[in-house]
Structure 1
Amino acid sequence: MKLATQDRGFFGSTYEAKLSKLQELGFEGLEIDGKWLIEKYDEIEKAVKATGVPISSICGGYRGWIGDFDQEQRALAIQDIGAILERSADIGAAGVVVPAAFGIFSRKLPPFVSPRPADEEREVLLDSLRKLNDYAVSSGSLLLLEPLNRYEDHMINTLEDASGLIREGNFSGVKVMADFFHMQIEEWDISESLRKTADLVAHVHLADSNRLQPGYGHTDFKTGFRTLKDIGFTGYMAVECELVPGDGLKAYAEMAGFLKACMP
């Protein structure tokens, strides 16, 4: 298991400076926005070669959602993610993190009833994943399907939801992205859910139960990390959280120490 993080402004103004700084803080990779990967690819590639610190994964940076209610927005999402997948493979990243959608509807908030029937939603997701699986396989990258909690998405909330779609479509280019914050809300037993999807978990996001940096909530990272080791996970775990008030660099150094102490 390797520690990565999403970008922070205080890492530096250039990608070489960012990669060097996060390495100093105890991290081993950087998760970046897909838009920046495409627009600043040459700079990023040079920074990776100069520092030896890899781009671990890609998150965001595209229009629409793969489960969008709007067909045009869904088509844009497929188009943009397809382009990002190609660049993701070029830079050697694990893949592109993609949820079904974010914030377009929740069955736990009014009006409680989705404007699209559940069986139609599943077909929409399978269609999007089928198209993106082709992009992933042809490029040599992975689409990392992320379940979100019930208040942020209504289509894919658990690891089982994500793995069920992947298995139904037999998608070799789609894997599961397991986020400890969302799992803390949705999974009955995080370790058991990880074991059931052991063959599909390819990337991890880290935040504590309150979305703060690990160590400031009640998530049991030690047990979760032990389970990841037991199922043979060797990929990146990228920090995606809010920081406690104060010095950001100090918070990151503290976070790296905490997370490494939790690793078996």
Structure 2
Amino acid sequence: MIKSAVTIALVPQIKTGPWIFWNDLEMGMKQASELGFDGVELFTASADSIDPSKLEKLLAKYRLSLAALGTGAGKVLHGLTLTDPDPTMRAKAQAFVSDMIAFGARFGAPAIIGSMQGNVQPGADRQQTIEWFKESLEILADKASSLGVHLIYEPLNRYETKLFNTLESSVSLLESLKANQVKLLADLFHMNIEETALAQSIREFGNYIGHVHFADSNRKPMGFGHTGMAPIAEALREISYEGYVSAEAFPWPDSNAAAKQTIQQFRKFFR
């Protein structure tokens, strides 16, 4: 069964971004539970910024699961990426993500590599950058595998990275890895920029999809843009997707309204 999730940002230094609930973990979980979400996706400052025993109690209290854990704070707060030309910085980035993997694995949740993939730096060799990224992915995939979870890689649009922007190109990356524990995140916002036909890409590369981000073409909650959601939902059913459809969207017009809009749209297309 396809499951619903909503994002909660817990990084005080960040004031804006595509997350529905902000700053208050319990309040966000309480609202998610009352609206009927199955899980929450957390964006945290680090692996040790939340007491795992507290999170375990809150998940049980509000009958929620941890859907996934974002790692982007490593870049935003510390400037870390997995493709930094400096090997010391790459090692620090790997350690940051590794700790996130270990935290999420306690709850059976994968860590997401999005912005921490980095970019091809001006004047740098693209193939060398890709080799650095592959090395990092293999190290981190081994860590995830040892803990019984997948690692999630998110292709971003061309304005955010020059690495891999489509499901097809990302599948080529995954197939070149020695590790097989990496799955793709199909982010509908990024896909609206890069994919020719979203539903067809999902059908073609569905075996590699491990997580879905649910946002409209303008990154507002689904239903506030021009994404044709019905064929996308049908494609996800056709590939027998059973993971989370998680709202990584702007809290527009506010968090409560965005969450209500998201769960209404989720039920419209998936229940």
TM-score by length of 2: 0.86
1:12–1:193 Cα change, 3 Å:
closer
Q: Name which of 20, 34, 50 aligns with 2:61.
A: 50
Number of positions where the alignment pairs a residue of Structure 1 with one of Structure 2: 255
Distance 1:230 1:209 in 2: 23
Distance 1:100 1:253 in 2: 27
Q: Distance in 1 between matches of 2:45 and 2:179?
A: 25
Task: Find the aligned partners of 2:259 and 2:241 in 1 and give their Cα distance.
Answer: 23
Q: 1:72-221 alignment to 2 at 5 Å?
A: 72-93=88-109, 95-99=110-114, 101=116, 114-221=122-229
Distance 1:126 1:102 in 2: 10
- Give yes or no for contact 1:20–1:53 (8 Å, CA) kept in 2: no
Q: Distance in 2 between matches of 1:203 and 1:118?
A: 27
Report the counterpart of residue 269 of structure 2 in structure 1: 262
Partner Cα separation in structure 1 for residue 105 and residue 175 of structure 2: 23
Distance 2:172 2:118 in 1: 22
- 2:152 aligned counterpart, secondary structure: strand
CA distance in 2, matches of 1:156, 1:221: 24
Q: 1:34 to 1:134 in 2, by over 3 A?
A: farther
Letter paired with 2:112:
V
Identity of aligned residues (%): 29
1:7 partner SS: strand
Over 3 Å off, 4+ runs? 8-17, 34-37, 100-105
Which amino acid in 2 is paired with 1:18?
G
> Is 1:248 aligned with 2:255?
yes
Contact 1:82 1:132 in 2 (8 A): yes
1:215 deviation in Å? 0.7
Question: In 1, Cα distance between the equivalents of 2:67 and 2:230?
Answer: 22
Which range moved further: 80-89 or 162-171? 162-171
Q: 2:33 — aligned with what?
A: 23
CA separation of 1:250 and 1:96: change in aligned 2, threshold 3 A: same
Equivalent position of 1:235 in the other structure: 243
1:108 corresponds to: none
Aligned to 1:4: 5
Deviation string 1:38-64 (CA, Å, 9 cap, x unpaired) is 332221111112222111100124351
Q: Which amino acid aligns with 1:4?
A: A
Provide the rounded CA distance (Å) in 2 between the counterparts of 1:34 and 1:174: 21
Q: 1:2 to 1:84 in 2, by over 3 A?
A: same
SS at match of 2:222: coil
Distance verdict in 2 for CA 1:12–1:176, change over 3 Å? closer
Q: In 1, are the aligned partners of 2:117 and 2:133 still within 8 Å (CA)?
A: no
Are residues 11 and 213 of structure 1, via their aligned partners in 2, closer, same or farther at CA, if it must alter by over 3 Å? closer
> Structure 1 residues 129, 207: CA separation in 2 closer, same or farther (over 3 Å shift)?
same
1:100·1:125 contact (CA, 8 Å) conserved in 2? no
Alpha-carbon distance in structure 2 between the residues aligned to 1:208 and 1:11: 17
Q: Does 1:223 align with 2:224?
A: no
Amino acid of the structure 2 residue aligned with 1:153? T
Q: CA RMSD in A?
A: 2.3
Contact conserved, 2:101 with 2:111, CA < 8 A, in 1? yes
Tell me which residue corresponds to 1:109. none
Q: 1:12 and 1:51 mapped to 2: Cα distance?
A: 17
Q: Give, in whole Å, the separation in 2 of the partners of 1:138 and 1:58.
A: 17
Deviation by residue 1:116-152 (Cα, 9 ceiling, x = unmatched): 2222122111111111111111111221000000001
